[in-house]
Chains A and B, each alone.
Chain A
């Protein structure tokens, strides 16, 4: 049985078709990434899969239960962590946890045992009696995730779990995600952090303008655009001038500055490397490092969604 099965799911808001016959399945124990630019239909999909919004057409099941006709039974098996840390500021961390447990009808004993375990896992046990109003953004995010796990769900919806968080919160959340997947919990993850999806997800779906543009594992998706390669180079005397000169080379299809490095897109990295060395010698600007890179998941995303890189001379996505 699939954890999630979506068939020809459509959603129309007036004249706007937010979802256009979307179909995909998510297997039990899988970490499934759902990527797309703003307005692509990610939130609409999650709202339908969690039973808040009804689809205009098609169907969706959660562990075999139809989300429209068996909403409550389907919801019992899921935990939901929204993009906004929707915790009650005027309640303590413990009160928030207990309230979440009561909403999911978790018995008092289990609720308290699990609440303690989760607050300890997320590094919030010492602050359990403190009102959440005084928590940092990262602490609220951790509490939101802990609340989403109070019912020990088989399926976890995670909307932008680590967006804009401090390093400690990021590490804790990633570690918990790792533990969950090791225990066979299915995770449906939406994120703008494509690198996060790359390292976390078994498969990703890229949605654009309400339609699924591609579904596959990150590595297989990257192979579909093998022609997009790049050379990342750093110069001893700075890269700004080098960027302006090197982007004019005929084999460079796009260029951008990344910190103290320059990234040059090409389908002929060998020739480009030679030209870089020639340039460095002629301008007495020694190369500190030069790395040839294959396409990233971000490149795939840009290619499939038709987004443009903010670079001079155009990029591989164009």
Chain B
């Protein structure tokens, strides 16, 4: 597809991407496996961490928001796309007069919106129950949006693997997601990590997202907020590009 999206085509791409996102919202948001993987899993992770920590629970709210976004944003597509491969409805998207970029963005958009909605729970919990202050709300919004964008695209990327079983993709995805929690400063501060851990942390998009969110809550930031934003945008572009290439390759 060498036609660049311009004019009418750009509008068609936007309409199609939004339609794909709405379709996923209608069909998948209330599926039990989505709720378990996107909402309950990060909640129990948080409780497990909180139980072993001798700090005020409110301090852990930024980490809980980060982890909630990580899991909820990257859960929809690894479930929906294999199911749609099995029912051949994914073929409908692939043969539509839109680019693969529009399909990838549309798919990612539903995970993005889902995670923002879910992340409001710990955010409100922090405000109401723990009275946690948010000195930099704009930084929080940027952190949440960019982290959600990054990981929803990562979920779509993993879902490119040509299988009809969501379990196959979830297994691969968890091999990446679970270690990310430990190397990204969500519950273990970057300062407290060994040198090797700090180097690995640089490769994790969650590090930058969590850094922004923690900074928004007035907790110490490891990087300059602009660097966090830049790195998250960079990761998003890389994920989008790889996802595009993988869908192109696996659909041959």
**Interface on A for B, CB 8 Å cutoff?**
50-54, 69-73, 75-76, 80, 82, 84, 86-91, 95, 99-100, 102-105, 147
**CB–CB A91/B26 < 8 A:** yes
**CB–CB A86/B2 < 8 A:** no
**CB–CB A52/B94 < 8 A:** yes
Question: Which residue of chain B is the closest to A46 with respect to CB atoms?
Answer: B95
- Which 4 pairs between the two chains have the least Cβ-Cβ distance? A102-B19, A105-B12, A75-B97, A86-B88
**Complexed CA–CA distance, A88 and B88 (Å):** 10
Question: Which residue of chain A is the closest to B92 with respect to CB atoms?
Answer: A86
B23 contacts the other chain (CB 8 A): yes
Contacts of B23 in A (CB 8 A): 88, 91, 99
Contact A103-B89, Cβ < 8 Å, known A72-B1, A72-B3: no
Contacts of A53 in B (CB 8 A): 251-252
**CB–CB B97/A90 < 8 A:** no
Least Cβ distance of A95 to chain B in Å?
7
Least Cβ distance of B121 to chain A in Å?
25
**CB–CB A84/B26 < 8 A:** no
**CB–CB A86/B15 < 8 A:** no
**CB–CB B19/A103 < 8 A:** yes
A72, A90, A105: the one within 8 Å of B27 (CB): A90
- Could you say which interface size class chain B belongs to? 20 to 34
Provide the main secondary structure of the chain B interface.
Answer: helix
Contact A71-B1, Cβ < 8 Å, known A52-B91, A86-B87: yes
B98 contacts the other chain (CB 8 A): yes
Contacts of B11 in A (CB 8 A): 105
B16 contacts the other chain (CB 8 A): yes
Within 8 A of A (CB), among B1-39: 1-3, 8-9, 11-12, 15-16, 18-20, 23, 26-27
Sample 30 A-B pairs with CB under 8 A, ordered by A number.
A50-B95, A51-B1, A52-B91, A53-B251, A69-B2, A71-B1, A71-B2, A72-B1, A72-B3, A73-B3, A73-B97, A75-B96, A76-B97, A80-B95, A84-B87, A86-B92, A87-B89, A88-B23, A88-B89, A89-B87, A90-B26, A91-B27, A95-B26, A99-B19, A100-B92, A102-B18, A103-B16, A103-B20, A103-B92, A105-B15
**Complexed CA–CA distance, A95 and B89 (Å):** 14
**Interface on B for A, CB 8 Å cutoff?**
1-3, 8-9, 11-12, 15-16, 18-20, 23, 26-27, 87-89, 91-99, 251-252
Least Cβ distance of A159 to chain B in Å?
11
Contacts of B9 in A (CB 8 A): 72
**CB–CB A52/B27 < 8 A:** no
Contact A104-B89, Cβ < 8 Å, known A71-B3, A72-B3, A91-B27: no
Least Cβ distance of A39 to chain B in Å?
18
Question: Which residue of chain A is the closest to B106 with respect to CB atoms?
Answer: A103
Contacts of B89 in A (CB 8 A): 86-88
Contact A104-B27, Cβ < 8 Å, known A53-B252, A70-B3: no
Least Cβ distance of A79 to chain B in Å?
10
Identify the interface centre among A69, A88, A147: most chain B CB within 10 Å of its CB: A88
**Complexed CA–CA distance, A73 and B96 (Å):** 10
Least Cβ distance of A140 to chain B in Å?
11
Given contacts A72-B1, A73-B97, A105-B11, 6 further A-B contacts (CB under 8 A): A72-B9, A72-B98, A82-B91, A95-B26, A100-B92, A102-B18
Contact A84-B95, Cβ < 8 Å, known A52-B251, A91-B23, A103-B16: no
Least Cβ distance of B83 to chain A in Å?
10
**CB–CB A86/B91 < 8 A:** yes
**CB–CB B88/A104 < 8 A:** no
**Complexed CA–CA distance, A192 and B19 (Å):** 35
**Complexed CA–CA distance, A89 and B2 (Å):** 33
